[in-house]
Structure 1
Amino acid sequence: MFSLNIVFYFQVGLGTLANIFLLFFYTAVILCHRSKPMDLISCQLTFIHIMMVITGWDIFTTDVFDLLNIENDFICKATSYIHRAMRGLSICITCLLSVFQAVTISPNASLLAKFKRKLKKYMIYSFFYFWSFNLSFNSDRLFYCGSYTNMSETKQMKITKYCSLFPMNYIVRVLISTMTTSRDVFLVGVMLTTSIYMMIILIRHQRQCKHLHSIRHLRASPEKRATQTILLLVFFYVVMYWVDFIMSSRTVFLWMFDPVILTVQKFVINAYPTISPLIQISSDNRIIIMLKNMQNVCHQIFKKV
């Protein structure tokens, strides 16, 4: 168990640091340079992932709140509510990123081309709707989650060291689960549809470049690199989502607590917000150039010393 805690601490630390780096980068780009709509979406996604990673592992949050001498009931309600809301926002913003990139690279003759000029306007409306919906939709965690009590274990399900889910009506539990699943399946379906659309555009573009035999056009454009990155993020998210869905279905419908499954599920849930910033950092040419410049500056400084 001790070695497993080390793995989770490493995951939390890596995910937090990578997302904080991206958050500062995108914030600087938005404030100091001419930003793209994708930068605004990515900036929000990194903030959501920071909150998601921090609240996704109870050992980390418990240690922090213990130092602050805050009651366990508040810890449970706050971390559970924030994590569920951020988890919902993660799939919504990832879907938004996929849709907007599909609109961005769509040909001028397509039906999606007319939305290109109003991307920022639609994006602001989408942000407001997604945040409002997820913050209100997950409010049930404030009522049905709290510190572990002496109540019979058949009436509550222990999910962490100090937290448990309180009993709720079976119909209400299935209704909430069905609504959540319907939302997620719909958004995953949209992501897969836009991904297929973007893949078709990339394949057509590649065939045109080969037909023209132009070396200049064979180079990967910024739009192509961004599209490939988003396709990789969507693919990774869909895989992690279905793994998590299969494991969580047993807990939701059978109301059974399995510490092994819960531990693996937490690792899977935090996998996407941990890996996604690394994918973005390695594929964004602006970040690579900035890191190379920083490396050259440090090399010159050490050389003078």
Structure 2
Amino acid sequence: MDARDLALRTSFLLLTVTGLLGNFSLLYLYLFLYCTGYRLRTIDLIVKNLLVGNILVLFSSGFHNTMTNFGWHHLSGDFVCRFFPYVRVVGRGVSTGTTCLLSVFQVITISPMNSRSAELKVKALKLVVPSVILCWIMNMLINVIYPVYMSGNLSNTNITNRKSFGHCSAVRHDETADSLYAALISFPDVLCFVLMVLASGCTIFILYRHKKRVQNILKVNISSTSSPEIRATKTILLLVSTFIFFNTLSFISNVILAVFNSLSLFFLKTSAIIIACFPTVSPFLLMFRNSRMSMLCFGRIKHAESPKLVRRM
């Protein structure tokens, strides 16, 4: 094992363990708030689905790659090569969809109050749960191609007509079929990226106009960061920016995986690290930018007093 390969394996293992701890910790904090009587907001439901999607990505990628890295090749059978890649792409799709939903919902929430926006906010609240369910169903249906065409190398004596992914392989099609497949799996990502960019632009415009309005009314250079809505909006903007950066790289790597027939193990391992970056970073962004979560994470409130405090927050 050379130094480069060892560095890739160590980096991936650290990302996976750190990401799983972060997502499970934040999910536990939401459960703690719920059990202590705090009424969770609609946006918290979206965040919880984001955490579940992150956990699926990290668990499936981590388990599968750990088996490969430690030489447990005999376990890379058909079930492993079909189940874990399917779980990973479904989790990634849910993570993408819920991040997009989070950014769009926040734009509607902070939009200036009038009769039309008030009606839109009421409709948005009613559509959150159906949108989350639709996101799960669509990703499970679109990515069903993974368990259909993936299999382990050990179960295939003739691998000349198959595309290799390390110890797993997939049926190799012609260039037209591969291009159509790449377009199919890329369309939801592209649509979500466009919606997130538009929603982020609208959010920045609303925040700028709000700040100007406050300054004009009070005639002083006052910051609007003290508003809980503004803090939450800036957190989501940071989350979306991080998502776009990491998942643009992940999107490019997925297209390459779908189009090219022969890829090196170095590229496959690098692609796995890129995919694990956003699920690892996102829970810590949400915790550190949320004062309610930060207080619980760092123990700044006493256990006996925490239920009373979180109800007031």
**TM-score tier (shorter):** 0.7 to 0.9
Q: Read off the aligned partner of 1:47 and give its amino acid letter.
A: V
State the match for 2:203 in structure 1.
198
State the match for 1:257 in structure 2.
263
State the match for 2:51 in structure 1.
46
Which shifted more, 148-157 or 5-14? 148-157
- CA 214–35 in structure 1, closer or farther in 2 if over 3 Å, else same: farther
| Number of equivalent positions | 296
Cα offsets for 1:91-141 (capped at 9, x unmatched): 111100011111110111384432212333201110121111111111111
Partner Cα separation in structure 2 for residue 153 and residue 23 of structure 1: 42
Cα offsets for 1:122-179 (capped at 9, x unmatched): 011101211111111111111111111454554222213x312222454433222112
**1:105 equivalenced with 2:122 (yes/no):** no
Note if contact 2:100-2:192 (Cα within 8 Å) is conserved in structure 1.
yes
Pick from 13, 17, 20 the counterpart of residue 21 of structure 2.
17
Cα offsets for 1:166-205 (capped at 9, x unmatched): 2245443322211222221111000000000000011111
Partner Cα separation in structure 2 for residue 205 and residue 164 of structure 1: 53
Pick from 1, 5, 12 the counterpart of residue 9 of structure 2.
5
SS in 2 for 1:165: strand
State the match for 2:62 in structure 1.
57
Partner Cα separation in structure 2 for residue 170 and residue 156 of structure 1: 13
Partner Cα separation in structure 2 for residue 72 and residue 87 of structure 1: 23
Partner Cα separation in structure 2 for residue 285 and residue 218 of structure 1: 16
State the match for 1:238 in structure 2.
244
Cα offsets for 1:221-263 (capped at 9, x unmatched): 1111111111111111112222223333333223221222222
SS in 2 for 1:57: helix
Pick from 227, 231, 252 the counterpart of residue 233 of structure 2.
227
Which shifted more, 254-263 or 267-276? 254-263
State the match for 1:141 in structure 2.
146
State the match for 2:39 in structure 1.
34
Q: Relative contact order, CA 8 A, sep 6+: which one is greater?
A: 2
- CA 173–43 in structure 1, closer or farther in 2 if over 3 Å, else same: same
Alpha-carbon distance, 1:295 to partner: 6.9
- CA 30–95 in structure 1, closer or farther in 2 if over 3 Å, else same: farther
Partner Cα separation in structure 2 for residue 179 and residue 61 of structure 1: 29
SS in 2 for 1:256: coil
State the match for 1:303 in structure 2.
none
Q: Read off the aligned partner of 1:33 and give its amino acid letter.
A: Y
State the match for 2:169 in structure 1.
164
- CA 225–165 in structure 1, closer or farther in 2 if over 3 Å, else same: same
Which shifted more, 244-253 or 174-183? 244-253
Alpha-carbon distance, 1:70 to partner: 6.2
Partner Cα separation in structure 1 for residue 193 and residue 127 of structure 2: 20
Alpha-carbon distance, 1:297 to partner: 6.5
- CA 26–62 in structure 1, closer or farther in 2 if over 3 Å, else same: same
Cα offsets for 1:68-89 (capped at 9, x unmatched): x966211111101111111111
Partner Cα separation in structure 1 for residue 174 and residue 235 of structure 2: 43
- CA 28–120 in structure 1, closer or farther in 2 if over 3 Å, else same: farther
Q: Read off the aligned partner of 2:278 and give its amino acid letter.
A: Y
Partner Cα separation in structure 2 for residue 8 and residue 155 of structure 1: 30
SS in 1 for 2:169: strand
Unaligned runs of 5+ in 1: 299-305
TM-score normalised to the size of structure 1?
0.87
- Write the mapping of 1:57-96 to structure 2, written as runs, cut at 5 A: 57=62, 59-60=64-65, 62=67, 72-96=77-101
Partner Cα separation in structure 1 for residue 202 and residue 39 of structure 2: 28
Partner Cα separation in structure 1 for residue 221 and residue 29 of structure 2: 32
Note if contact 1:174-1:253 (Cα within 8 Å) is conserved in structure 2.
yes
SS in 2 for 1:158: strand
